[in-house]
Structure 1
């Protein structure tokens, strides 16, 4: 297999991540021109579907790491077997989740305390898009297979094509272009189904073309049990960490909401702005995760260690630079979102708290994902859950409410959480965790 640089792997991932983030904003903006209630209903339904999509990431993240390790060890037939098992497992996950969403969609939506028109729009969206979740599951598995083989550009091209289909479909549904009927949420929902189906067909073709890998019905019916165990061993802790993060953020949002509307709006806007700071970090962290998996598989442990540290330096410098620039030109950036002076008064000082938070977040993202590639899957979860709840949630209340620092206190608490996890991850990485994993696995067949 040809040698790849971090840049070659990461720049398509960066564009793909930017497109994913951007599409949510575009869909919300376009729907808001159709109806505020439609935008709200679809926003809530999408949040719900997002939690289910985390389930599919269980296998796709694990498959990416395990296939990468097998390729690094030159065990090509085992890498192909893992790819088939990942697709088979994700098909079953997708079908089960789609049925659950169709059966329990309405009671789950009602948990968000929405009603009337907002609930009706949410239900339309969840019934149409929920039924097609198995397509999302399948495309995530196929993308993971391509990425693990280093074909990140192909995955990016599929995302670009999906986005083009989506924008055209949204425009036709919402604005009724070329004399087409305005179908609103129904049209938007079917556009997503069409885009997902298109992605699956193109990804199947690319997997066949680039890796010469085809799938049979047998791969879905009879999945290798050891492969399932190995994927769940890596995937379940990662999913648990993600779910814990989502729930801790919900609690923090409730704390911010108690501070008033201006603080809540400022948090939403600054969270969107700070995404720009860590978008680059997430892309190079994913690229590093692929390379580390290969190096560990090939027993190139020193190379893996150096790669993690080198990426860490790049990510911390880049995120600090981006955060400082954002803070220096804070007011004009926030004014793109709002002209409400109360929100601006709360928000502008927070941009300097972002400068404190982002380098810690970069350390956390890069090294925690590298640790998972090295087979050290439990440590990131344990530290993550302790820190999210023991520091981020607890300190958000203490600094924000008890000490009266408001949103600034909440942001500082999140910064302390990121630095705490980042420093622990750094110590763990420098202790060469693969040596522990290697000793532990002499008697086991895991990873």
Structure 2
């Protein structure tokens, strides 16, 4: 029992996620620097394509995310066999969706560029990148489903090691295939797609091995045919609002990137560089928020509602302190970091003007994500979905278009709208969590089963 409690402690869950995200972000920065050696246009294409791929990723993350929450809840409720079945369905359905997305991106990359207002001079690079990296989206779906399932069993170290290895291999292959090192052909942006797909394929193989041994009974290949309609309905019940929420956010970001594309390639490149640097601010806050979701779901499944409630606030306070400190550090050092990516004076000026706004943006994002994840963990996914769709449609997207492109505020106006969206949603989900709707309902049900006896909570593991 003690080992299980430690396994689902906040720090035990968070530190491997943080290390994984930190090194992925660091290697992603190196990746961006490598692509910038091709051209600033290549960076702009990769930035816009990244938003598109993130948007499409949310389609299969609807299944993977819902399955992950349920896995932690079922393990907390001592229903290991149900957790195993849910994990299998999460993998098979997510992979099927990923295959469909891969086909779409291979066949329709040019048409999608038109929908995103991509300028003509960027089309050749876009077609090369999207059609090839998009063909590997089914691998991304497999990795996401298996990593999510493994993490929600309490094992956050295996995805960490796999992610680190995948990204190191990707960077090494980038060097070889972009620049033609060691006698290999000099493939430029096409080389980035080849190295990405090779590294994802090998990561998927490693994760499947770990996935197979993550439950009480080993998962065999023949088990991939398992489908339980009742449990799948539970996945959909939690997952579809989660997916709509994620899709709304990513599509709003995609719309914002299309507005930036309307402003020009320099604005698009500046936002891409800033997004890379901002990731360093947010990664520990993100790790704490994700760890909170896993821990709260496990405690909720075990009917430890008081611990779940207080644990979410503990993680929020820690996350806000860390994210604010990191944002301040970036404010002080950001101008020097920008020069690692580009020497274009216009891009440098735009990037430097956003550093002060980032001091407000990052804490607002942490508040929103931490409280959102706590609500998701107990199955309260519809309320965050509704307020997210309204806020992102009206404030993040609508106001960004008006103030950024029509009123002439440009990149500054778009950033202000992003801050307003995150802050408003964060305050609303905070109030929802304080209302304890799902926690009180679960506590009432648990008290009824135990004849009205009060629930006994042990000390919350840190």
Q: Per the shorter chain, which TM-score range?
A: 0.7 to 0.9
In structure 1, the partner of 2:20 is: 16
- Cα distance in structure 1, aligned partners of 2:181 and 2:309: 55
Question: For residues 95 and 10 of structure 1, do their structure 2 counterparts lie closer, same or farther at Cα, with a shift above 3 Å needed?
Answer: same
Residue 128 of structure 1: how far off its partner (Å): 3.9
* Residue 268 (structure 2) pairs with residue 300 (structure 1): no
Counterparts in 2 of 1:45 and 1:245: CA distance versus 1, 3 Å: closer
Instruction: After superposition, give the CA deviation of every residue in 1:367-416 in whole Å (9 maximum; x if it has no partner).
Output: 00110001100011111112223333454466667887654444333222
Matched residue, 1:373:
377
Counterparts of 1:8-157 in structure 2 under 5 Å? 8-34=12-38, 44-112=48-116, 118-157=122-161
- For residues 142 and 348 of structure 1, the distance between their equivalents in structure 2, rounded to whole angstroms, comes to 39
Quick check: 1:284 aligned with 2:317? no
Query: Is the contact between residue 240 and residue 381 of structure 1 (CA under 8 Å) also seen in structure 2?
Result: yes
Cα deviation, 1:6-41, whole Å, max 9, x if unaligned, reads: 112111111222333344443343244356666555
Aligned in 2, Cα 1:391/1:85: closer, same or farther, shift over 3 Å? Answer: same
Question: Of residues 152, 156, 162 in structure 2, which corresponds to 1:158?
Answer: 162
Does structure 2 conserve the Cα–Cα contact (< 8 Å) formed by 1:162 and 1:196? yes
CA offset at residue 185 of structure 1? 4.3
Equivalent-residue separation in structure 2 for 1:38 and 1:329 (angstroms)? 25
1:361 maps to 365
C-alpha change, 1:303 and 1:54, in structure 2 (3 Å) is same
What is aligned with 2:389? 385
SS of the residue aligned with 1:168? helix
Q: Given that residues 18 and 279 in structure 1 are in contact (C-alpha distance below 8 angstroms), is that contact kept between their aligned partners in structure 2?
A: yes
- In structure 2, the CA distance between the partners of 1:328 and 1:199, relative to structure 1 (3 Å rule), is closer
Partner of 2:451: none
Q: Which moved more, 1:175-184 or 1:85-94?
A: 175-184
Q: Compared with structure 1, are the counterparts of its residues 151 and 248 closer, same or farther at alpha carbon in structure 2 (3 Å cutoff)?
A: same
Counterpart CA distance in 2 for 1:30 and 1:172 is 11
Q: Is the 8 A contact 1:90 1:137 kept in 2?
A: yes
Partners of 1:357 and 1:415 within 8 A in 2? yes
Between 171-180 and 360-369, the greater mean CA deviation after superposition: 171-180
* 1:180 corresponds to which of 157, 178, 184: 184
Name the CA shift for 1:400/1:163 in 2 (closer, same or farther; >3 Å): closer
2:232 matches 1:228: yes
Residue in structure 1 matched with residue 434 of structure 2 by the alignment: 430
CA offsets 1:408-428 (integer angstroms, 9 cap, x no match) = 444333222222111111111
- Whether the 8 Å contact between 2:273 and 2:341 is mirrored in structure 1 is yes
How far apart, CA to CA, are the structure 1 residues paired with 2:222 and 2:102? 22
Q: Using the alignment, how far apart are the partners of 1:121 and 1:340 within structure 2?
A: 20
Partner of 1:3: 5
Q: Structure 1 residues 297 and 328 mapped into 2: Cα distance closer, same or farther (>3 Å)?
A: same
2:119–2:261 Cα contact (<8 Å) kept:
no
In structure 2, relative to structure 1, the CA distance for the partners of 1:270 and 1:374 (3 Å cut) is same
Looking at both structures, which has the greater relative contact order when contacts are Cα pairs under 8 Å and sequence separation is at least 6? 2
Q: TM-score, normalised by structure 1?
A: 0.86
Distance 1:386 1:35, change over 3 A: closer
Structure-1 separation of matches of 2:376 and 2:195 = 35
1:196 to 181, 197, 200: 200
Q: 1:374 touches 1:433 (CA, 8 Å); kept in 2?
A: no
CA distance in 2 between counterparts of 1:292 and 1:80 reads 19
Work out the CA distance in 2 between the residues paired with 1:391 and 1:194.
39
1:143-196 deviation per Cα after TM superposition (whole angstroms, max 9, x unaligned): 112101111111010011111221222222122222233344444333222222
> 2 CA distance for matches of 1:278 and 1:95?
31
Q: TM-score scaled by structure 2?
A: 0.84
Contact 2:55 2:254 in 1 (8 A): no
1:274 maps onto 2:278 in alignment: yes
CA contact (8 A) 2:80 2:215 kept: no
Shift of 1:108: 2.5
The separation in 2 between residues aligned to 1:217 and 1:261, in whole angstroms, is 47
Between stretches 139-148 and 18-27, larger displacement belongs to: 18-27
The SS at the match of 1:376 is coil
Count of aligned pairs between the two proteins: 442
Q: 1:331 to 1:80 in 2, by over 3 A?
A: closer
Q: Distance in 2 between matches of 1:127 and 1:411?
A: 30
- Aligned-pair RMSD on alpha carbons? 3.2
> Post-superposition shift, 1:331?
4.0
